[in-house]
């Protein structure tokens, strides 16, 4: 039996259990797994081994998600608008990542996308050779998923975890 929670019920749950619980409830209602199942010491993964965000009950954002915020604002917001909200030029990525899977996201970022029709033309350039995007694509994914589930509000996250030495080493290797 499938149970659907009303928005009021989800808000009540969030007030009792914290905002990240609301995000998890909303994501589960959408059939999206954002729960942390494992970590490799650099980033968190869901049960399907797809990168996911980890936001503590006090609102502290994990480093990869914070990095995703920074990279999104420097590389993606020009077309897709601030905070993944979309623009008249390109769709809201915070919504798109809730409808597509991780692998479709990676393919679109790396290879671009073009849809040409009588009513509209959409062109997403390929970023596969742009290290400023590809080295951080998992971070951008987790940031947008956190935005899409409502776990993260608009703007710069108020609290963030520090960058781990392991993350710094992977970042350095990728950027070389």
Q: What is the DSSP string of the chain?
A: ------HHHHHHHHHHH-HHHHHHHHHHHTT------EE-SS-EE-TTS-EE--B-TT-PBPHHHHHHHHHIIIIIHHHH-GGG---SSS--HHHHTTTS-HHHHHHHHHH-EEEE-SS-EEEE---TT-HHHHTTHHHHHHHHHHHHHTSS-SSS-S-BPPPPHHHHHHHHHHH-
The pLDDT assigned to 40 comes to 94
Task: Enumerate residue ranges in the chain where pLDDT < 70.
Answer: 1-30
- What's the longest Cα–Cα distance across the chain? 52
Task: Return d(Cα 48, Cα 44) in angstroms, integer.
Answer: 11
The pLDDT assigned to 18 comes to 40
The pLDDT assigned to 27 comes to 52
- Do residues 82 and 173 touch, judged by C-beta distance below 8 A? no
The pLDDT assigned to 125 comes to 93
Phi, psi of 121 (to 5 degrees): -130, 125
Question: Which of 33, 49, 70 minimizes the C-alpha distance to 171?
Answer: 70
- Do residues 73 and 154 touch, judged by C-beta distance below 8 A? no
The pLDDT assigned to 22 comes to 42
The length of the chain, given as a count of residues: 176
Domain ranges of the chain: 7-175
The pLDDT assigned to 8 comes to 41
pLDDT tens track for 110-134: 999 988 888 877 889 999 999 999 9
The pLDDT assigned to 164 comes to 95
């Amino acid at each position: 039996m499938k149970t659907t929670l009303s928005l009021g019920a989800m808000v009540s749950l969030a007030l009792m259990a914290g905002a990240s619980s609301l995000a998890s409830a909303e994501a589960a209602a959408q059939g999206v797994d954002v729960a942390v199942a494992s970590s490799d010491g650099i980033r968190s993964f869901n049960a399907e081994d797809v990168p996911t965000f980890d936001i503590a009950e006090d609102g502290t954002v994990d480093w990869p998600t914070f990095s995703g915020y920074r990279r999104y604002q420097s590389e993606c917001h020009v077309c897709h608008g601030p905070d993944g909200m979309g623009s008249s030029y390109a769709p809201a990525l915070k919504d798109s990542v809730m409808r597509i899977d991780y692998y479709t996201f990676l393919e679109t970022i790396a290879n671009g996308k073009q849809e040409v029709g009588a009513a509209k033309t959409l062109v997403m350039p390929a970023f596969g050779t742009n290290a400023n995007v590809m080295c951080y694509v998992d971070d951008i994914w987790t940031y947008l998923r956190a935005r899409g589930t409502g776990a993260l509000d608009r703007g710069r996250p108020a609290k963030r975890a520090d960058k781990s030495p392991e993350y710094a080493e992977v970042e350095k290797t990728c950027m070389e």
